[in-house]
């Protein structure tokens, strides 16, 4: 089998090396980017009179034919040709003859693969931004729908203070907003062209890198050819951005899973987004949320894997870098599908209003209300805290709640406590009185939602 680089070799490659060395099974996914980069390169070579117009036209036509063949399933890739770059070059020479061999003038696979991955990452980030935006839209939509619903707010997974369900849900909107902003920000580092850097040192041909940069709609070129071929920061950065998205979805997953347990019973997932058990007929399981939580582990793992691949890697290109793609593609697929599954799962869930209402009325999450109220009577907060704490303890002993304490008992604690104390202690009042800008009152949350919508 003749290799594109076979000239200085006497022996054939060992059979097991063929399989170990190849990347076509993974990087065939880059075919469109590879062809786009090659067409830009051929056009530039022609404009610089390095290629004749006829040769350039033949090459470009051949590349477009190959694209069609790949898309209609008629192209045959082989591991003998290692990767997508050499497979396409081989197909090109097969279709148009030896002139196809002129395409690689002034270029190396090192700047070629970097160009392909920059193009791929740019599109990936755009898709991620759109998927994040759609999920944010769903969160806004259900937050508006459930604006009346009060639920227990937790710290340490212990009942803390009542909050609006919408307030809780919108937390995830803002996490995703930061994720989206990070993705946007990363585009300025992704949108830089490595093409023309050659293997590492540049090229002796009179190429025009600004021309390919413009054709491929990059915003700049790498100032340093060695950096251009060995930089994988932009992949790491994007993977970490995916990682954070998944960590956020994983936190939400944990809550969804808790909320639809019989113990919490706050929500119901739709049948469409649940699964059953092969043995226990009663089961309805939140598998989608669990899968998202599970996939978070592998997305984080891929990020760490690339980080470690780069650690201690000398300049410039090393074959280690071929390992960057598998993890990136997997992480992208998992993150995109998780974002999409979440949009469907959230928009189809239902809230168990009665149970939420009941649960929030049967705890001590109104204790802060009482302490705050005592402060309005002039009692220092620390003292108000102690008085309320003692009353809570007494209630626990007697198996009752703060709302069950009689007016007379309240007057005994402090004669200035007024008749409206019981209404102040309701969860609705607790929520409504938190009117600060980012608080949980309906008005504050409505303003928050409005602010969020303006960012969509
Ligand atoms: N398949 C290689 C990769 O993905 C392409 C670059 C190979 N360059 C080289 N000099 N062997 O990294």
User: Do residues 100 and 46 share a domain?
Assistant: yes
Predicted model pTM: 0.96
Whether ipTM > 0.95 holds is yes
Q: How many CB atoms lie within 10 A of CB 54?
A: 10
Q: Is residue 389 in a domain?
A: yes
Distance CA 356, CA 259 (A): 10
Residue 309 CB–ligand 1 contact under 6 Å: no
**pLDDT-based confidence at residue 2 (cuts at 50, 70, 90):** confident
**pLDDT tens figures, 294-314:** 999 999 999 999 999 999 999
Whole-number Å distance, alpha carbon 37 to ligand 1 midpoint, is: 15
Between these two residues, 5 and 168, which has the higher pLDDT value?
168
Domain holding 314, by residue range, is 110-147+162-206+225-350
Contact between residue 116 and residue 37 where contact means Cβ atoms under 8 Å apart: yes
User: Do residues 256 and 173 share a domain?
Assistant: yes
Chain center to CA of 124: 11
Closest CA to 234 of 324, 118, 79: 118
Which atom in ligand 1 lies closest to the alpha carbon of residue 199?
A: 10
User: Do residues 138 and 90 share a domain?
Assistant: no
CA dist 17 → 14, 23, 230, 259 (Å): 5, 12, 24, 52
Contact between residue 186 and residue 235 where contact means Cβ atoms under 8 Å apart: no
Distance CA 18, CA 228 (A): 28
Q: What is the 8-class DSSP label of residue 350? A: E
User: Do residues 183 and 290 share a domain?
Assistant: yes
User: Do residues 315 and 433 share a domain?
Assistant: no
Whole-number Å distance, alpha carbon 322 to ligand 1 midpoint, is: 6
User: Do residues 418 and 386 share a domain?
Assistant: yes
Residue range 48-66: mean pLDDT, rounded? 98
- In the chain, what is the straight-line distance between the N-terminal and C-terminal CA atoms, in Å? 55
Q: Is residue 217 in a domain?
A: no
Closest CA to 102 of 50, 145, 161: 50
pLDDT greater than 60 at residue 1: no
User: Do residues 265 and 370 share a domain?
Assistant: no
Task: Specify the 3-state DSSP secondary structure of 197.
Answer: coil
Distance CA 117, CA 332 (A): 13
Based on the structure, what is the number of domains in the chain?
3
User: Do residues 266 and 401 share a domain?
Assistant: no
Residue range 198-224: mean pLDDT, rounded? 98
Query: How many helices (H) and strands (E) are present in the chain, helices listed first?
Result: 19, 6
Residues with a known catalytic role: 156, 277
The domain that contains 290 carries what CATH number?
A: 1.20.200.10
User: Do residues 92 and 128 share a domain?
Assistant: no
The domain that contains 44 carries what CATH number?
A: 1.10.275.10
Whole-number Å distance, alpha carbon 369 to ligand 1 midpoint, is: 65
User: Do residues 139 and 262 share a domain?
Assistant: yes
Distance CA 351, CA 70 (A): 48
Domain boundary residue, one of 350, 385, 414: 350
Counting beta carbons within 10 angstroms of the beta carbon of residue 230, is it exposed (0 to 12), middle (13 to 18) or buried (19 or more)? buried
Alpha helices in 22-164 (DSSP H): 24-27, 31-47, 53-71, 84-96, 109-145
Distance CA 185, CA 125 (A): 10
**pLDDT tens figures, 111-163:** 999 999 999 999 999 999 999 999 999 999 999 999 999 999 999 999 999 99
Residue 116 CB–ligand 1 contact under 6 Å: no
Ligand 1 pocket mutation, candidates 77, 82, 83, 88, criterion most atoms within 8 A of CB: 83
User: Do residues 64 and 133 share a domain?
Assistant: no
């Amino acid at each position: 089998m003749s290799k594109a680089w076979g000239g200085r070799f006497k022996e054939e490659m060992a059979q097991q090396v063929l399989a170990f060395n190849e990347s076509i099974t993974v990087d065939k996914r880059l075919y469109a980017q590879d062809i786009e980069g090659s067409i830009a390169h051929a056009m530039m070579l022609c404009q610089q009179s390095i290629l004749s117009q006829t040769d350039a036209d033949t090459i470009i036509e051949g590349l477009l034919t190959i694209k069609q063949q790949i898309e209609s399933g008629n192209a045959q890739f082989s591991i003998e040709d290692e990767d997508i770059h050499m497979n396409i070059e081989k197909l090109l020479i097969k279709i148009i003859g030896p002139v196809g061999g002129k395409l690689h003038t002034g270029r190396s696979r090192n700047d070629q693969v970097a160009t392909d991955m920059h193009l791929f990452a740019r599109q990936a980030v755009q898709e991620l931004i759109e998927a994040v935006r759609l999920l944010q839209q769903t969160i806004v939509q259900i937050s508006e729908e459930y604006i009346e619903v009060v639920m227990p707010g937790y710290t340490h997974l212990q009942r803390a203070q009542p909050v609006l369900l919408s307030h809780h849900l919108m937390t995830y909107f803002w996490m995703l907003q930061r994720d989206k902003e990070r993705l946007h920000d990363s585009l300025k580092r992704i949108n830089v062209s490595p093409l023309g850097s050659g293997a590492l040192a540049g090229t002796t041909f009179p190429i025009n890198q600004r021309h390919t940069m413009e054709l491929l709609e990059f915003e700049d070129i790498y100032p340093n050819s060695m950096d251009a071929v060995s930089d994988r920061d932009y992949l790491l950065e994007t993977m970490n951005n995916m990682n954070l998205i998944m960590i956020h979805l994983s936190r939400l997953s944990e809550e969804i899973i808790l909320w639809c347990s019989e113990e919490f019973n706050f929500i119901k997932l739709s049948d469409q987004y649940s699964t059953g058990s092969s043995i226990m007929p009663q089961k309805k399981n939140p598998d989608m949320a669990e899968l998202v939580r599970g996939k978070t582990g592998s997305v984080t793992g891929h990020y760490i894997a690339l980080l470690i691949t780069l650690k201690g890697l000398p300049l410039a290109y090393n074959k280690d870098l071929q390992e960057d793609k598998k993890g990136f593609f997997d992480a992208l697929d998992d993150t995109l599908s998780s974002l999409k599954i979440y949009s469907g799962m959230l928009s189809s869930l239902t809230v168990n209003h009665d149970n939420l209402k009941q649960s929030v009325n049967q705890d001590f999450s109104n204790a802060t209300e009482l302490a705050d109220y005592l402060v309005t009577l002039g009692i220092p907060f620390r003292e108000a805290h102690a008085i309320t704490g003692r009353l809570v303890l007494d209630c626990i002993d007697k198996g009752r709640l703060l709302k069950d304490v009689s007016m007379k008992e309240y007057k005994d604690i402090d004669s200035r406590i007024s008749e409206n104390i019981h209404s102040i202690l309701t969860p609705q009042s607790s929520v409504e009185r938190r009117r600060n800008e980012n608080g949980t009152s309906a008005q504050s949350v409505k303003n928050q939602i409005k602010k969020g919508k303006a960012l969509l």
